[in-house]
Amino acid sequence: EESPGGPSQKKVVAVVGGGLVGALNACFFAKRGFDVELFETREDIRQAKIVRGRSINLALSHRGRQALKHVGMEEKIVSQGIPMHARMIHSLNGKQSPIPYGKKGQYILSVDRANLNKELLTGKNINGMKLMCRVNFVFLRSDGSEEQVEADLIVGCDGAFSAIRKQFLRRSRFNYSQTYIPHGYMELTMPPINGEFAMKPNYLHIWPRNTFMMIALPNLDKTFTCTLFMPFEEFEKITTGDEVIEFFQKYFPDAIPLIGVDALKRDYFRLPAQAMVSVKCSPYHIGSKCVLMGDAAHAVVPFYGQGMNAGFEDCIVFDEIMEQFNEDFSAVLPEYTRVRVPDDHAIADLAMYNYIEMRAHVNSKWFLFRKHIDNLLHFLMPKTIIPLYTMVTFTRTRYHEAVARWHWQDRSLAPKLSDVTCADDVCANGPLSDGRRGGWWGSFTASLVNCLNPVGVSGKRAK
Ligand code: FAD
């Protein structure tokens, strides 16, 4: 097939969306020698003074790092990130307990979204046009005029509300689902104290409170970005500065002096809470012409810290298939759908599972117990038992294989105990830290059950 640039010309790839995944994809295609056109509706963030976007910082882990490595950017980005070796759990009484993410030396990195995006866009030409969802792919200039763009391949990296994906929706046999979770999120800043981080910097701080949760990731300027996750109806109940302080006093008392009373009263009302959506679809391609990647293909809730990492891995997987099929789009695109859909769907499901685990179970003794058991077994049998979190965060084990292996590990460890519930008489020895009833035995049996079958038990565990 002749390229729009003529028979002897390089093939043209139009990447729609200059966010994290679009910008990285442009690097991958440029590295292969394609003529890349990048379309972005927002102003060029390299010139923008205030960059409004979603979360201010993100956790970068192995999959994302591998993708950056492919385009020679890993070292630079890692040098600008802050390692987080463990979660730091803040209990209501102010006690802090670390839970390592993996083995010694394994960590995730807190990176600045805007900076990462700028670095990925360095040297790229951004065509400041917006994709319009019309009968065909038409781009709109800021002066209102339209342009039909010709390209050999259109790559939709235009995020969770993708205009490209809307075109897919018009077609037969395209599967699509989206789910908004009842929680919203709000970002608050914790400033430095006397020029130093207000809390230990090399941790992802978590305040799990069952229905609510707050997390904080460190930034290079010694601030922390705190993200408060809470059902929208709870956000809406708080209408005055004093109510904000009352709420924090009840649930996050140790954070009040660190964020500051005045800042809390002010910043809570600065922006409304933002929604979180999970999107699944399939296939990811139309013929040999168009493909979806990143959030456009699979927006996931942010509780596994994998949205960007999965989107970055999309770029490597596509590149690997390009290699395998000699850059023949008519073979590459269907293969990409075949390979990638099960993995992206698996991480979407896992992120939903962690939505509950992070705010509720992280708080409990059985969660800690399970982490210890997982780590101990991994230490004793490093090739046989690998904690799910390790597979997802520190390896490139395919997501759906990680889930299958997790279930297999649970099944083969011991007889299935998922139906064991903790009867009141055994669990009545005292409250667990998360408010559920249960004594040592209750927490032990529940831990064991959870350890052996974390998914199966989630709805059945002792109340
Ligand atoms: P986006 O970042 O949404 O970029 C899409 C781009 O397309 C934007 O620049 C947009 O302006 C542009 N665009 C949109 N429509 C058009 C159009 N019609 N024409 C042209 N351009 C268009 N992931 C992690 O891996 N780790 C984390 O710790 C993490 N934390 C998160 C915390 C929160 C609160 C949230 C909400 C998400 C988090 N994520 C995290 C997920 C991560 O933010 C996304 O997965 C990632 O931004 C996806 O990148 P993307 O390029 O696909 O989409």
pLDDT digits (tens, 9 = 90+) for 293-302: 999 999 999 9
Instruction: Report the separation in Å between the CA atom of 373 and the middle of ligand 1, taken as the mean of its atom positions.
Output: 35
45 lines ligand 1 (CB under 6 A): no
How does pLDDT run across 266-291, given as a tens digit for each residue?
Answer: 999 999 999 999 999 999 999 999 99
Instruction: Say if 99 falls within a structural domain.
Output: no
Contact 84, 108 (CB under 8 A): yes
pLDDT confidence bin for 292, thresholds 50/70/90: very high
Closest CA to 284 of 332, 316, 213, 353: 332
Q: Is 278 in the pocket of ligand 1 (CB under 6 A)?
A: no
Distances 379 to 44, 102, 250, 403, 451 between C-alpha atoms, Å: 48, 11, 39, 20, 16
Q: How far is the CA of 310 from the centre of ligand 1 (A)?
A: 11
CATH of the domain at 173: 3.50.50.60
Among 275, 294, 322, the domain-final residue is 275
Distance 61 CA to ligand 1 centre (A): 16
User: For 17-31, 48-62, 101-115, 239-253, which range has the lowest pLDDT when averaged over its residues?
Assistant: 48-62
Q: Is 100 part of any domain?
A: no
Mean pLDDT across 139-167? 88
Buried b vs exposed e over 445-455: b needs ≥16 C-beta within 10 Å? bbbbbbbbbbb
The pLDDT value recorded for residue 350 is 95
For strand 12-16 and strand 153-156, is the pairing parallel, antiparallel, or unpaired? parallel
**Residue 91 CB less than 6 A away from ligand 1:** no
Q: What is the mean pLDDT of residues 241-262?
A: 98
The predicted structure's pLDDT at residue 363? 61
H/E stretch holding 85: none
Which atom of ligand 1 sits closest to the CA of residue 299? Answer: 45
pTM summary value: 0.87
Report CA(23)–ligand 1 centroid distance (Å). 11
How confident is the model over 123-149, as pLDDT tens digits? 677 776 676 655 466 777 777 788 788
- Examine the domain organization and report whether 154 and 190 are in the same domain: no
Average pLDDT over residues 206-220: 93
Helix (H) or strand (E) holding 15: strand 12-16
In a domain, residue 4? The reply is no
* 97 part of a folded domain: no
Rounded-to-integer distance, Cα 391 and Cα 370, Å: 16
Of 275, 305, 328, the residue that ends a domain is: 275
Question: Taking Cα atoms as reference points, which of 252, 371, 201, 228 lies closest to residue 302?
Answer: 228
Domain assignment present for residue 170? The answer is: yes
Q: What is the DSSP track for 151-196?
A: -SEEEE---TT-HHHHHHHTSTT-EEEEEEEEEEEEEEEE--BTTB
Range of the structural domain that residue 256 is part of: 180-275
CB 306 within 8 A of CB 392: yes
Last residue of a domain, one of 321, 355, 389: 355
In angstroms, the CA 30 to CA 422 distance is 58
Q: Are residues 145 and 252 both part of a single domain?
A: no
**Closest ligand 1 atom, residue 307 Cα:** 45
Q: How many domains does the chain have?
A: 3
Cβ of 295 closer than 6 Å to ligand 1, yes or no, is yes
Q: What are residue 398's phi and psi, to 5 degrees?
A: -55, 140
**CA-based Rg of the chain, rounded to a whole angstrom?**
23
Same domain, 197 and 73: no
Q: What does the alpha-carbon distance between residue 220 and residue 80 come to, in Å, rounded to a whole number?
A: 8
Residue 427 has pLDDT above 60, yes or no: no
| Tokens describing residue 368 | 């800690």
In short, whether 21's Cβ falls inside 6 Å of ligand 1 is yes
Residue 369 lies in a domain: yes
Q: Which of 58, 183, 219, 389 to mutate to test the pocket of ligand 1 (most atoms within 8 A of CB)?
A: 58
pLDDT value of position 150: 84
Q: Does the CB atom of residue 273 touch ligand 1 within 6 A?
A: no
Non-local (6+) Cβ contacts of 191 within 8 A are 198, 223, 259, 260, 263
Mean pLDDT lowest among 27-41, 307-321, 386-400, 424-438: 424-438
Q: Is 453 in the pocket of ligand 1 (CB under 6 A)?
A: no
- 318 phi-psi bin (left φ>0, alpha ψ -120 to 50, beta other): alpha
If asked whether residues 48 and 173 sit together in one domain, one would say yes
State residue 189 phi and psi, 5-degree precision.
Answer: -105, 135
Domain shared by 38 and 171, yes or no: yes
Pair 63, 126 in one domain: yes
pLDDT bin (cut points 50, 70, 90) of residue 3 is low
The residue to mutate among 38, 295, 340, having the most atoms of ligand 1 within 8 angstroms of its beta carbon, is 295
Residues 226 and 270 in one domain: yes
346 & 200 share domain: no
25 and 158 housed in the same domain:
yes
Query: What mean pLDDT is reported for the chain?
Result: 84
- Does residue 245 sit in the same domain as residue 262? yes
> How many angstroms is it from 39 CA to the middle of ligand 1?
15
Q: Is residue 89 part of a domain?
A: no
Mean pLDDT in residue range 226-232: 97
Do 17 and 157 have their domain in common? Answer: yes
Residues 408 and 341 in one domain: no
Q: Please check the confidence at residue 64 and state whether its pLDDT lies above 70.
A: yes
pLDDT at residue 9, rounded to an integer:
75
| Position 154 in a domain | yes
Which residue is associated with the tokens 């013929």? Answer: 287
Q: Is the CB of 302 under 6 A from ligand 1?
A: yes
- Which tokens hold the place of 75? 């070292």
Q: Tokens 């630079």 appear where?
A: 76
